[in-house]
Structure 1
Amino acid sequence: MIQTVYNIQDMYRLTGFEHQPLSDDFDIITHQETYPTTNKMVAAHRRDFFSIIYLESQQEGEMQINQDKHAHLNDILFFQSPQHVFSFVRGDSMKGFLIFFKPEFILPFSNDVISDFSYFRSSENNLFQLNQKEKEAFTGLFKAIDAEKEHTDVAKALLLALLEKARLLQQKHRTIEQAIPAEYQLVNNFKRLVNNHFIVEKSVEFYAEQLNMTANYLNNRIKAHTGKTAKEHIAHRTLMEAKNMLLYTGFDVAEISFRLHFSEPSYFGKFFKKHTQQTPKAFRLNR
């Protein structure tokens, strides 16, 4: 089953980052601070806390968000919750900030982070492109939090200000999304669900149920607008994760099979060869 990381320090161990968080329930760092120790690739996992990722520039590497492979990202803000499955391949020159916090950190101002700030919900849009004015505003907030990180009450107040500012950003993007045709909204919602459940849920029926429609209807609508069936999208997301683990980790094929929730390594091998015409071992050797 997919790995869950329960605290910030364990996440740093998972990623190879040699750093002690400010506390058990809060930390802020820059992407620049994570060099050179952080692993090149971190496999899909869940975090039992909240993350805010500001990426000012990404000249190399990629993030897996909403089933899409994102590279060369600039001025994006990403909100991650325990609902998300997250993985990344790390570039060599990323800039920006990362904030990690547990719900306890912002008590008593919020009793339910996902309800109060719905952009953390996996079914919502979690990735926002910032314009120049928004970039300046959020960069100022990140810098202020970083400057006051040793003063818990001040850092908490500034973090809440950032969360409230992000609510306004979400409202703006919702207005834009409402102008998008319903069929494209369906594709976006489907991709978000796949990205956050593909490790465990590989059947079209699961996603169709989440979207209140039949599996056949979902397959037809997704294929009509993307050229691929819903089943092919699920397989593609699984395959991307498998390739990244083969390329950037030392996990053997059996471990990768287990992490991707295949019942047997042989089933994973057949799946991989069907989609790549290579065995997992051959793919790794020929990289």
Structure 2
Amino acid sequence: MEATKKTEINNDYLDNLKTEQTQFRVAPSSEGNCCLASYNRRDFYKITLTTTGSSQLLYANRGIHIDKPALVFTNPMVPYSWEGDHAGAKGYFCVFTDKFLHSGSRMESLEESTLFKAGGDPVHFLNDNQTDYIYGLFKRMHQELDSEYLYKYELIRNHLNLIIHEAIKMHPTVAYFTPQNAASRITKLFLALLEKQFPVDSAQYSLVLKKASDYADKLAVHVNHLNAAVSEITGRSTTTHINERILAEAKSLLTHTNWSVAEIAVSLGFDYSSYFNNFFKKHTGLTPMALRKAL
């Protein structure tokens, strides 16, 4: 009976391995940006250890100079740009999903963690001892990823948690600066964040960001500030951009999928099909079913 139980446990782990292979990647920075072409970029968080060079991490209305060893935490739902000479960068990076880390029983969602959320502290500068210690953790994760050890992802998860807890303990004081032409930057990041939600590739998916205030929260700016910036740069309101993109996706789903109107409504963030019908008819003059029948 004990042998049977052991076999069941091992089979569970083998099944988990197949899943976890797509939920975690780690590599030295010299290998370039991690390729996530086969994954859903909305799902991936990234931790970068940079030990050399000078660069700037730029968000909507704030920037951070990085000119010494640092740990950098980036969230796929908070647009940013990282400017500088990365060709000779030394260090490591890893990408992973919230699900991968929560398999290790972390209590809070990564999206709510001060390390990843909008307005949090994404950069943690390191002293020599901290750099050596965290570099060693990344190196061990990289080695374990290529190993044949059956429980390697559990071990990797432990190393990843150590990196996160080291950062939480640091409580950094980061000097932020305001980038030039902040309105243009805010607008560019808003549009990038809007586009990142599409295409909708599953009837089980539902848009997370539906209103201007949702985008403002992600960009860590006041909604009035976001609206003013977008209107100044594009001549159109934030809500207009959101509605036009949702409408374009709705037409695409009605044309190219066999999903029901109810499924399309949910996937585009509408609580009820009637809300979606009213929205669609207001902007097109047709109901979703009328458009589909006319194709």
Superposition TM-score tier, normalisation by shorter sequence: 0.3 to 0.5
TM-score by length of 2: 0.46
Q: Which has the higher strand share?
A: 1
Indicate the structure (1 or 2) with the bigger Cα radius of gyration. Answer: 2
Q: TM-score, normalised by structure 1?
A: 0.47
